[in-house]
Amino acid sequence: MTQTFTLANAMLILPEETRTGHIRVVDGQIDDIGFGAAIPAGAEDCEGDHVSPGLVELHTDNLERHIQPRPKVDWPHAAAIIAHDAELAGTGITTVFDAMRVGSIPTGQGRYLKYARPLATELLELRAMDALKISHFLHLRAEICSETLVEELEEFTAEDRVGLVSLMDHTPGQRQFRDMTKLETYMKNKHAMNDDEFLQHVAQLKGLRDRVGDRHEVEAVAHAEKLGAVLASHDDTTREQVAVSAGHGIRLAEFPTTVEAAEACREAGIRVMMGAPNLIRGGSHSGNVAARDLAERDLLDILSSDYVPSALLLAAVQLGEIWGDMARGLGTVTRAPAQAVGLGDRGMLHPGARADLLRFRLRAGVPALRAVWSRGLRVA
């Protein structure tokens, strides 16, 4: 059945500007865009609300939070996936790359058990049943300091919708946790470690990096190519680390931790992604560079909600205020992430694009969502 509707008298967030107009949707695609405050017959009057593309999320830990809402609690996965999907839809995210760790540590302190392959299978089965509201892809977080990375990567094929593979090196004392006191606080709070357990954990990770780190990095790069996935770095800190990333063919840097690394990424043609919570909170919870500092230096390209889905739209609006350009701010969560992973059918308002849309208005600078559409269907 043909599904047609028109949103009119809206502030359209276009790639380069915001402009009052209307947008017509036919069968899940944008059919026409026009300008002016006129309300065509049968159209919905948006009363000046903003209408933007749906948000594109490249890195979120939210699904992991749903499958393990408390330490040692394994929630039923189908229920967790459906709840995660609904939560994202309710925050304006219409395309998500669900982050799943590959590379386990089944022994010793700070154990991380294997879960990615069965969880991915369940997610893809739910997608095939049309049980999900929004568009899901896989983001494999390749943990270099692990015992089982290669075996777990080999469980995935090109048919699995793996859109991103990121190289994660959590060796203590570098990258995200250069400040060991921050790592100690994090691990003790999350895993209830005592002093001896924390020291054993640090020694274990450093030992793993020495034994398998270089091989795992090479294998992860090779598997990303086999899967047809975009390759990303994670927590680059120095120019030397960025140079290695560029050598691997990486074109997306997740959460560089210093201005030095972000500048090196810009020079190497690598897009810089920062966390929306970092921008909203005014700084990194790990003590690394603030997203706002990079934004003010014109070194920020993409935002990710990271661990707070509702942060994505709010942070994009705040970026629009910082830059004095709402279209540019929203572009960091729509057009830029879509382009970074080669999704040319979404992320912009133009005829022929997927009708992934948001309607929101600002209240005291905070975006209040009025409606969300995915492929032209109302999902929130």
* Selection from 78, 82, 81, 79 nearest residue 64 by Cα: 81
- Axis crossing angle, helix 180-191 with helix 195-227, rounded to the nearest 10: 90
Between CA 257 and CA 56 the distance in angstroms is 23
Whether pTM exceeds 0.85: yes
Give, for 363, the enclosing helix (H) or strand (E): strand 357-363
Mean pLDDT in consecutive groups of 10 residues from the start of the chain, 380 residues: 88 97 97 96 97 98 92 91 98 98 74 88 97 98 89 95 91 61 63 70 71 84 96 94 94 95 97 97 86 97 96 98 98 98 97 98 96 97
Q: Strands 302-304, 271-275: parallel, antiparallel or unpaired by DSSP? A: parallel
Let me know: does 184 contact 205? Beta carbons within 8 Å: no
- Residue 214's pLDDT is 81
Distance (Å, whole) CA 67 – CA 113: 13
According to CATH, the topology of domain 54-345 is TIM Barrel (3.20.20)
pLDDT at 190: 64
pLDDT (tens digit, 9 = 90+) per residue, 91-110? 999 999 999 999 887 666 56
Structure tokens at 287: 């003590």
63, 81 contact by CB (below 8 A): yes
Query: Where are the alpha helices (H) located in the chain, listed in sequence order?
Result: 62-67, 77-90, 116-128, 149-153, 180-191, 195-227, 239-247, 259-268, 276-281, 291-296, 311-323, 326-331, 335-340
Q: Tell me phi and psi for residue 340, to 5 degrees.
A: -65, -30
The angle formed by the CA atoms of residues 234, 238 and 243, to the nearest 5 degrees, is 80
End-to-end Cα spacing for the chain: 21
Closest CA to 146 of 235, 215, 248, 226: 215
CA distances from residue 59 to 138, 163, 258 in whole angstroms, order as listed: 10, 11, 19
